[in-house]
Structure 1
Amino acid sequence: MNEPVFVIHGVANRDPEGFAASVDALRTATGLDMVPVHWGDLGADDRHVTASFPGRTGTPVVPGPRLPGGSGLRDAPDDGWPQVESAVRAWLGTAADAPDSGLRSSPAPDPTVSDGLIDYLADEWTKTEWLRHTDDPALLTEAGRALAETLTERIAPGPGADHGYGGYGGYGGYGEDDGYDGLRGRGEEGADGRLRARLREQLRALDRVAGAAISATLGRVNTVMRTAAAPGTARFLGDVLVYQRHRDRVHARVRETIDRVDPALGRTPDRPVRVVAHSLGGVVAFDMATSAEPLWTSSLVTFGSQPAFFHAIDPRGGLLPPYEGAGPVVLPPSLRRWTNLWEPMDLLAFVTARMFQLHDGTAPVDICVPAPASGLGWGWTHSAYWELPLVAKEIGTAMAAAVG
Structure 2
Amino acid sequence: MEPVLVIHGIGNRDQHAWSQEVQELEERFETVTGNSTFQFIPVYWGDLAAHTENLDACMPDLEPAPSFSVPRVNPQNAKVTDLLNLINRLPAIVAAPIKAQLEAALNQVAGDAVRSYLAQQYQTARVSNRHMITTSLGDIMVYQRNQAAIQGRVWEVLKAFDVRKMGYGTSRKSVHVVAHSLGGVIAVDTIIRGKLPLHAKSLTTFGSQFPYFHLVDPRPTVPAYTGEPIVMPPQLKRWINLWEPLDPLSFVASKMFQLSSGKPVTDIQVHPEGGMTELLQGYHYTHGIYWQTRELLDALKENLLK
Normalized against structure 1, the TM-score is what?
0.64
Partner residue of 2:232 out of 303, 321, 331: 331
AA at the equivalent of 2:46 = G
Q: Deviations over 1:145-173 (max 9, x none)?
A: 543222355xxxxxxxxxxxxxxxxxxxx
1:400 aligned onto 2:302: no
Q: CA deviation at 1:254?
A: 1.2
Q: Tell me the residue number matched to 1:245.
A: 145
1:297 aligned onto 2:200: yes
The 8 Å contact of residues 181 and 250 in structure 2, kept in 1 or not, is answered as yes
AA at the equivalent of 2:208 = S
Compared CA separation, residues 140 and 310, structure 1 to 2 (3 A): farther
AA at the equivalent of 1:395 = L
Compared CA separation, residues 21 and 150, structure 1 to 2 (3 A): same
Q: Which runs of 5+ in 2 are unaligned?
A: 31-37, 64-68
Compared CA separation, residues 149 and 266, structure 1 to 2 (3 A): farther
Compared CA separation, residues 199 and 141, structure 1 to 2 (3 A): farther
Q: CA deviation at 1:196?
A: 5.8
Q: CA deviation at 1:379?
A: 7.9
Compared CA separation, residues 201 and 351, structure 1 to 2 (3 A): closer
Normalized against structure 2, the TM-score is what?
0.83
SS in 2 for 1:340: strand
Alignment of 1:52-131 (within 5 A): 52-53=58-59, 56=61
Q: CA deviation at 1:267?
A: 4.5
Compared CA separation, residues 228 and 264, structure 1 to 2 (3 A): farther
Q: Structure 1 residue runs of 4+, over 6 Å off?
A: 136-142
Q: Within 1, Cα distance between the matches of 2:97 and 2:273?
A: 64
Alignment of 1:246-285 (within 5 A): 246-262=146-162, 263-285=165-187
1:315 aligned onto 2:218: yes
The 8 Å contact of residues 304 and 342 in structure 1, kept in 2 or not, is answered as yes
Which is strand-richer, 1 or 2?
A: 2
Identity over the aligned pairs, expressed in percent?
35
The 8 Å contact of residues 279 and 303 in structure 1, kept in 2 or not, is answered as yes
Q: Deviations over 1:184-222 (max 9, x none)?
A: 324xx9xx74x6665555444433432332133112211
1:41 aligned onto 2:47: yes
Q: Tell me the residue number matched to 2:8.
A: 9
The 8 Å contact of residues 11 and 132 in structure 2, kept in 1 or not, is answered as yes
Q: Within 2, Cα distance between the matches of 1:280 and 1:218?
A: 33
Q: Within 1, Cα distance between the matches of 2:134 and 2:273?
A: 28
Q: Within 2, Cα distance between the matches of 1:215 and 1:228?
A: 20
Partner residue of 1:149 out of 58, 62, 82: 82
1:232 aligned onto 2:238: no
Query: Aligned residues, how many?
Result: 287
Q: Within 1, Cα distance between the matches of 2:215 and 2:117?
A: 40
Q: CA deviation at 1:389?
A: 2.8
AA at the equivalent of 2:184 = G
Q: Within 1, Cα distance between the matches of 2:7 and 2:27?
A: 17
Q: Which runs of 5+ in 1 are unaligned?
A: 59-135, 154-181
Q: Deviations over 1:325-356 (max 9, x none)?
A: 1x211111111111111122212111111111
The 8 Å contact of residues 12 and 232 in structure 1, kept in 2 or not, is answered as yes
SS in 2 for 1:255: helix
The 8 Å contact of residues 246 and 285 in structure 2, kept in 1 or not, is answered as no
Q: Tell me the residue number matched to 1:87.
A: none
Partner residue of 2:90 out of 185, 193, 196: 185
Q: Within 2, Cα distance between the matches of 1:295 and 1:247?
A: 14
Q: Within 2, Cα distance between the matches of 1:261 and 1:308?
A: 30
The 8 Å contact of residues 7 and 43 in structure 2, kept in 1 or not, is answered as yes
RMSD of aligned residue pairs (Cα, Å):
3.0
Q: Tell me the residue number matched to 1:22.
A: 21
Alignment of 1:343-358 (within 5 A): 343-358=244-259
SS in 2 for 1:351: coil
AA at the equivalent of 1:273 = V
Q: Deviations over 1:278-332 (max 9, x none)?
A: 01101111011111121111111111111111111111222x111111x211111
Q: Within 2, Cα distance between the matches of 1:51 and 1:242?
A: 19
Q: CA deviation at 1:255?
A: 0.8
AA at the equivalent of 1:238 = G
Q: Within 2, Cα distance between the matches of 1:145 and 1:203?
A: 16
Compared CA separation, residues 141 and 16, structure 1 to 2 (3 A): farther
Q: Within 2, Cα distance between the matches of 1:212 and 1:379?
A: 39
Q: Tell me the residue number matched to 2:66.
A: none
AA at the equivalent of 2:231 = V
Larger Rg: 1
Partner residue of 2:188 out of 283, 286, 290: 286
Q: CA deviation at 1:40?
A: 1.0
